[in-house]
Amino acid sequence: MEQRQQRKGRGDQQQQSRTGDPDLKERLVGINRVAKTTKGGRTFSFSAIMVVGDEKGKVGHGLGKSREVATSIQKGIDDAKKNMIAVPLVKGTIPHEQEMRYAGAHVMIRPASPGTGVIAGGAMRAVLESAGITDVLAKSLGSSNPHNVVKATFNALKALRSAEEVAHLRGISVSKVFNG
């Protein structure tokens, strides 16, 4: 099975959808090789962290493990499709500032004016671009472990609330949320 891959940024790869959904884009965030020593020698296996998104507000992440790279990537894609979340977008950016921790990773994301672009590195960039966010300021503090950075970024995106959600929770109109 031949796959086309296009280089993006540092270390993450974007792939056109190989499985079913044509509007979903897959990105390989990281791949690790693990060696297990047995009496017959070393056995190698691979784990792949994948991010899947439609670039319109839906994004998911997954981890796939297998003895072959291609199989681990496919398992990661399948896992990511099961863990999809909806992200509230406001004119290509996020509705408000958010900080989140997951294990040793600490991430901070802030809305940005149009034309700023995605100011983020590595694993965070893959998640934010897959979600469809075009203008954002982001910083990864603490651990740079891609597993924990991806999970911290997802928790931050999950915690975002749109003005309509806040108005509905408070039982007031949207204009009253902004004007007091």
Taking the complete model, does pTM exceed 0.75, yes or no?
yes
- Whether residues 98 and 162 fall in one domain: yes
Q: How confident is the model at residue 20 (pLDDT cuts 50, 70, 90)?
A: low
Instruction: Look at residue 179 in the predicted model and tell me its pLDDT.
Output: 85
| Under 8 Å between Cβ of 81 and 62 | yes
Q: Would residue 95 count as lying in a domain?
A: yes
Average pLDDT over residues 154-180: 89
- Whether residues 12 and 59 fall in one domain: yes
Say whether 85 sits in a helix, a strand or coil: strand
> Domain span at residue 10?
5-85
The per-residue pLDDT of the chain, averaged, comes to: 88
- Whether residues 65 and 106 fall in one domain: no
Strands (DSSP E) contained in the chain are: 5-8, 12-15, 25-38, 41-53, 58-66, 84-86, 98-102, 105-111, 118-119, 136-142
Give how far Cα 168 sits from Cα of 86, 156, 165, 173, 177, Å: 18, 21, 5, 8, 10
DSSP single-letter state for residue 180: -
Percent residues over pLDDT 70 in the chain: 88
- Whether residues 107 and 131 fall in one domain: yes
- Cβ–Cβ contacts within 10 Å for residue 179, how many? 7
- Whether residues 93 and 80 fall in one domain: no
Strands 118-119 and 136-142: parallel
- Whether residues 108 and 52 fall in one domain: no
Contacts of 130 (CB under 8 A, 6+ apart): 25, 27, 51, 52, 53, 55, 59
Percent residues over pLDDT 90 in the chain: 76
- Whether residues 117 and 148 fall in one domain: yes
- Whether residues 59 and 99 fall in one domain: no
Q: Is the pLDDT of residue 5 over 80?
A: no
Contacts 24+ apart (CB under 8 A), 62-71: 63/147, 67/43, 69/31, 70/1, 70/3
Instruction: Look at residue 18 in the predicted model and tell me its pLDDT.
Output: 55
Q: Phi and psi dihedrals of 153, rounded to 5?
A: -65, -40
H or E element at residue 124: helix 122-131
- Whether residues 123 and 133 fall in one domain: yes
Count the domains in the chain.
2
Q: Is the pLDDT of residue 8 over 50?
A: no
Q: Is the pLDDT of residue 26 over 90?
A: yes
- Whether residues 145 and 77 fall in one domain: no
- Whether residues 75 and 17 fall in one domain: yes
Q: Would residue 172 count as lying in a domain?
A: no
Q: Would residue 177 count as lying in a domain?
A: no
Q: How confident is the model at residue 102 (pLDDT cuts 50, 70, 90)?
A: very high
- Whether residues 91 and 24 fall in one domain: no
CATH number at residue 46: 3.30.160.20
Q: How confident is the model at residue 19 (pLDDT cuts 50, 70, 90)?
A: low
